[in-house]
A and B are shown apart, each in its own frame.
Chain A
Amino acid sequence: MKPISSRIRRMHPLPIRIMHWTNALSMIIMIGSGWKIYNDEVIFGFLHFPQEIVLGIWAQHALQWHFFGMWILVFNGLFYLAYGVATGRFARLFFPIRPREVVAEMVAALTFRLKHADLTHYNAVQKVLYVGVIAIIIMQVVSGLAIWKPVQFSFFVSLFGGFQGARLAHFLGMAAIVGFMVVHVALALLVPRTILAMLTGGPAVPAEDPHPEGAPAPTTPH
């Protein structure tokens, strides 16, 4: 038996917790200010965001917030991606994703039968949501760069079929992230221990954990 480390390893190590809440803050800044910027030239005539829920009373302040929040988002995001890859956290927690499990667990989740006994392992629905939202946030950065610098990054504009295409993609990405946040918060409230875990670190990961961070992803027999 290996000696027990004096440092207790947690489900969510401190860097993950800091980056999670920093990201949550940056998302709220980006979305709230983005709504205000959107209001000045709406894409859908029926949709204006009420002043009560936007960030910035005039467009210029919303723009200030947006281009302030982008630095938090980008730097925090880069640290997070580097950390997740380097420690093997992504490989361990997010993969593999098996379509059959995703479908089965999606059905279970929608009928409130999804078991969530072990916080330290993500179910297939969680994996899809987390990997999906990370991919969408990366796309938001790309479409955001296309809108911010359509000449310097004209290649990015062409990816979205033009400037208004990039705006539409940026809007739809926002909608997807908002959708994720609604589901994410709702599910977390159903299992409040998960919220606590993201604050305090959650259950200790046993020293004899067969899949310590950095180890290759396990293949669970099914």
Chain B
Amino acid sequence: MAFRNPFAPRRPAVTTPDKSLLVENRKLIETIDRRKVLRGTFSLGALSLLAGCDISDRGAVQSVLKTVSDFNDGVQAALFNPKKLAPTFSPDLVVKPPRFNAYYEIDEVKPVDVSTWKLELSGLIKDKRPWTLDQIYALPEQEEIIRHICVEGWDYIGQWSGPNLKDFLTRIGADLSAKYIAFYGNDDYMESIDMASALHPQTILATKYAGEPITDPYGFPLRLRTAVKLGFKNPKWIRAIEVTNTYPLGFWEKQGFNWFAGL
């Protein structure tokens, strides 16, 4: 079920299959997938387009599409204007609570135990000492009322606040010329963004929603909120941040979604 409607399962789960089923059958699922893509190609006469490819190679179509998706990452990076600000909105448009979404249901969220939680830092960072929540709360806050846009097509206005990410990265001595920054969730979720987007003025480590600490389903104690990426690029329940030059991919990219996913 989680695969059928991965972002925001709206129906209450009646019987949720064990997630290990999906992992075990991933190969099979991917095979069906390629077969379907290939059939689509047939029915569309897209073969003429892919002349030269061995059509019996099921991966050929996927490989063309992935290559174009990677190319589109570069195009989006070129289109990205680091100074261009996303529209902001008035507080009366803020949706409360924010809309839940994860690759699992809201009742499967495992709340973070804040007594043991610390923000771990790794990679190209000078001061890798972990941060407690109180230390993060003590940092200057930035508030932004921005539109959250999901790759599925829905959106809502949210009011987020927390330390500006660029200020935080500067404070911990992160290499701001590195290419990527990866965020690891308390679950097995991981997403990465490009450094230019990380340094955008509307990218923050959000600790609050509508002036109150973010509640468990929405990422307590810490989540990324950037106005310049699709929703799935904003991990919740962050437990670690890594600065790196090695392309770290991400949870949804491994399933075929576009990595840059910039707005």
The yes or no verdict on A and B being binding partners is yes
Interface residues of A (CB under 8 A from B): 25, 28-29, 32, 37-38, 40-41, 55-61, 63-65, 67-68, 71-72, 149-152, 154, 157, 163-164, 167
Residue of B44, B256, B262 touching A25 (CB-CB under 8 A): B44
User: Which A residues touch B45, using CB under 8 A?
Assistant: 25, 28
Residue of B44, B48, B76, B256 touching A60 (CB-CB under 8 A): B256
User: Which A residues touch B54, using CB under 8 A?
Assistant: none
Cα distance A149–B77 in the bound complex, in angstroms: 12
User: Which B residues touch A154, using CB under 8 A?
Assistant: 84, 86-87
Tell whether, in the assembled complex, residue A63 and residue B153 are in contact, meaning their CB atoms are under 8 Å apart. no
Cα distance A58–B40 in the bound complex, in angstroms: 12
User: Which A residues touch B64, using CB under 8 A?
Assistant: 68
Residue of A61, A67, A151 touching B84 (CB-CB under 8 A): A151
* Chain B window 155-189, contacts with chain A (Cβ cutoff 8 Å), 1 for yes, 0 for no: 10000000000000000000000000000000000
* Shortest Cβ-Cβ A-B pairs, 5 listed: A41-B153, A60-B256, A64-B65, A57-B36, A151-B263
Tell whether, in the assembled complex, residue A57 and residue B68 are in contact, meaning their CB atoms are under 8 Å apart. no
User: Which A residues touch B49, using CB under 8 A?
Assistant: 25, 72
Q: Could you show 8 A-B contacts with beta carbons less than 8 Å apart?
A: A41-B152, A56-B37, A58-B255, A60-B257, A64-B69, A64-B256, A150-B147, A151-B263
Contact A149 to B69, CB < 8 A, known contacts A41-B154, A163-B147 = no
The residue of chain A having its C-beta at the shortest distance from the C-beta of B85 within the complex is A151
The residue of chain B having its C-beta at the shortest distance from the C-beta of A70 within the complex is B72
Cα distance A217–B218 in the bound complex, in angstroms: 62
B64, B72, B155, B263: which has the most chain A beta carbons within 10 Å?
B263
B46 interface residue, CB < 8 Å from A?
A: yes
User: Which B residues touch A151, using CB under 8 A?
Assistant: 84-87, 227-228, 262-263
Interchain nearest-CB distance for B72 vs A (Å)? 5
What would 10 more interface pairs be, CB under 8 Å, given A25-B46, A40-B7, A55-B40? Answer: A29-B44, A57-B32, A58-B3, A58-B256, A60-B252, A61-B33, A149-B79, A151-B262, A152-B81, A154-B84
Cα distance A40–B40 in the bound complex, in angstroms: 19
The residue of chain B having its C-beta at the shortest distance from the C-beta of A43 within the complex is B153
The residue of chain B having its C-beta at the shortest distance from the C-beta of A170 within the complex is B153
Interface hits, B98-155 → A, CB 8 Å:
147, 149-155
